[in-house]
């Protein structure tokens, strides 16, 4: 049972308490209480989804100007690639007149509810470092994830469920692995708890054959007495984390199967999301996210694998492959936004969507050879993330890229700015929310970041 929240983590300083820091947080009245973060693993192409560039279409198949290549680092592009026009059609929707791709017909109806950040940028152009940078504030392992920071600082609204839960779809974990939802140097009880939408909702949550719940309770009580005695002798805070994990795991044996059972939902909800109970899917995970935040989980992280559209195979084609991929997320995301709104949860919930970086305006020519299908390389200089819910402007677009979508030219937004803004909406001053480790105070945004005030409602 101790492996339930699993993984060896760096030990925190021995004199630190492991209880959530709820006494000093939030710093001010929060706009939202909880976050659902939809991370599209691989870097979805903003140029096929939200950042419409008609000039790029005019330059389709022409050699990329040298000025766009000099001084730039790419994951795979070599030599002189060809420019690649948008592989999806665009129209304007809603009162805001927001351009949205034809690949997202359901999302088009919600453009007046979301806030677009169109000039996002990062320093990382490979998947694992970029995912870590986005979720932990550092491209290297060992730092706490955003969800772990919030679990530590704010705790859960439900004593029977963890504050931070993770759902994965697409057939693979993200490139950064479980480090993307790890606790880093925070006590390990704050790392994300990964759930499954098929089979046992959490591995090892069920009692072993022949063991009753009453016997399990007595076993845990005995183990925790030994753990507490050991803590009194050595003072290692990870021992207290272990005690908390055993106790939470016991509570989850009752609470998790109930909240994770989407078969309890009425037929119209399954029709709205496109869910199929018993299967692993992004749709099921979106419905589970709503059920989890409804029960008081502070931070729900969804990872969906399969957005690395290089053009090396059919599934990575920006026309066919991306259309098929969007069909798996478009309806569930639309349903999630609608469901949160109709239940009165949207006003104090923040929904965030995006990848770890964007894609180049040029066609990928890996090793100087043009790919068989239409694909783009990784691009750190410009991509799109959107947010919806409490505290952010609706139907608003912040930031602008150049006419080819290569560089941000107005209101550029860094990863640390996004992190600072999410914390701000939860009532946390990102500069004051710190944890001492190895001789200095650390924070999610390191020594960077500014709240994006222009998008605040």
- Per-residue pLDDT, 20: 56
Strand 358-363 and strand 376-379: the pairing is: antiparallel
Q: Tokens for 402, please give them.
A: 């150049």
The structure's pTM equals 0.88
20, 155 in Cβ contact below 8 A? yes
Output the CA–CA distances (angstroms, integers) from residue 367 to 174, 260, 373, in the order listed.
25, 46, 15
Q: Tokens for 456, please give them.
A: 């605040």
44: CB partners within 8 A, 6+ apart: 307, 309, 322, 354, 355, 358, 359
Spatial separation of the C-alpha atoms in residues 395 and 389, rounded to whole Å:
11
pLDDT per residue of the chain (457 residues) written in tens, 0 to 9 = 333 333 333 333 333 344 555 558 999 999 999 999 999 999 999 999 999 999 999 999 999 988 888 888 899 998 899 999 999 999 999 999 999 999 999 999 999 999 999 999 999 999 999 999 999 999 999 999 999 999 999 998 988 889 999 999 999 999 999 999 999 999 988 999 988 656 666 655 665 665 565 666 666 667 667 767 777 777 676 666 665 665 555 455 555 678 888 999 999 999 999 999 988 899 999 999 999 999 999 999 999 999 999 999 999 999 999 999 999 999 999 999 999 999 999 999 999 999 999 999 999 998 878 888 999 999 999 999 999 999 999 999 999 999 999 999 999 999 999 999 999 999 999 999 999 999 999 999 999 999 999 999 9
- Per-residue pLDDT, 233: 78
- Per-residue pLDDT, 188: 87
Could you tell me which residues are beta bridge partners of residue 98? 93
Output the CA–CA distances (angstroms, integers) from residue 432 to 144, 329, 424, 437, 447, in the order listed.
16, 36, 11, 15, 11
- Per-residue pLDDT, 68: 85
- Per-residue pLDDT, 28: 95
Angle at 117 between CA 114 and CA 118, to 5 degrees: 120
Angle at 442 between CA 411 and CA 142, to 5 degrees: 100
- Structural domains in the chain, CATH included, are 34-455 (3.40.720)
Q: Which helix (H) or strand (E) holds 424?
A: helix 415-425
- Per-residue pLDDT, 3: 34
- Per-residue pLDDT, 257: 72
Residue with tokens 């109930």: 258
């Amino acid at each position: 049972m101790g492996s339930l929240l699993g993984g060896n983590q760096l030990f925190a300083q021995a004199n630190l308490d492991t209880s959530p820091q709820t006494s000093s947080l939030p710093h001010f009245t929060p706009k939202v209480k909880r976050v659902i973060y939809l991370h599209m693993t691989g870097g979805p192409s903003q140029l096929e989804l939200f950042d419409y560039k008609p000039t790029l279409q005019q330059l389709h198949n022409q050699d990329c100007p040298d000025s766009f290549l000099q001084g730039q680092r790419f994951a795979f592009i070599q030599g002189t690639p060809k420019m690649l026009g948008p592989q999806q059609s665009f129209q304007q929707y809603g009162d805001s007149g927001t351009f949205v791709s034809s690949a997202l017909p359901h999302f088009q109806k919600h453009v007046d509810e979301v806030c677009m950040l169109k000039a996002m940028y990062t320093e990382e152009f490979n998947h694992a470092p970029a995912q870590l940078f986005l979720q932990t504030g550092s491209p290297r392992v060992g730092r706490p994830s955003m969800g772990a920071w919030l679990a530590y600082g704010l705790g859960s609204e439900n004593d029977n469920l963890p504050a931070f839960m993770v759902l994965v779809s697409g057939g693979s974990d993200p490139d950064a692995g479980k480090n993307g939802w790890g606790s880093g140097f925070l006590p390990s009880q704050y790392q994300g708890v990964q759930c499954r939408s098929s089979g046992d909702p959490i591995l090892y949550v069920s009692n072993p054959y022949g063991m009753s719940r009453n016997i399990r309770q007595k076993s845990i009580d005995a183990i925790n007495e030994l753990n507490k005695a050991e803590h009194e002798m050595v003072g290692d805070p990870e021992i207290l984390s272990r005690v908390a994990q055993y106790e939470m795991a016991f509570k989850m044996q009752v609470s998790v199967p109930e909240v994770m059972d989407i078969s309890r939902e009425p037929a119209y909800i399954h029709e709205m999301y496109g869910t199929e109970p018993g299967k692993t899917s992004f749709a099921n995970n979106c419905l589970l996210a709503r059920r989890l935040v409804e029960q008081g989980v502070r931070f729900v992280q969804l990872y969906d694998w399969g957005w690395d559209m290089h053009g090396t195979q059919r599934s990575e084609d920006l026309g066919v492959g991306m259309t098929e991929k969007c069909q798996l997320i478009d309806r569930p995301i639309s349903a999630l936004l609608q469901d949160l709104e109709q239940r009165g949860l949207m006003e104090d919930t923040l929904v965030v969507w995006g990848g770890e970086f964007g894609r180049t305006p040029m066609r990928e020519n890996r090793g100087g050879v043009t790919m068989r299908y239409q694909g783009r390389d990784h691009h750190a200089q410009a991509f799109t993330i959107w947010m919806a819910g409490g505290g952010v402007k609706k139907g608003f677009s912040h930031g602008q890229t150049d006419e080819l979508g290569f560089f941000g030219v107005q209101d550029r937004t860094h990863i640390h700015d996004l992190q600072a803004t999410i914390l701000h909406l939860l009532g946390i001053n990102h500069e004051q929310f710190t944890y001492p480790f190895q001789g200095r105070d650390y924070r999610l945004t390191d020594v960077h970041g500014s709240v994006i005030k222009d998008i605040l409602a």
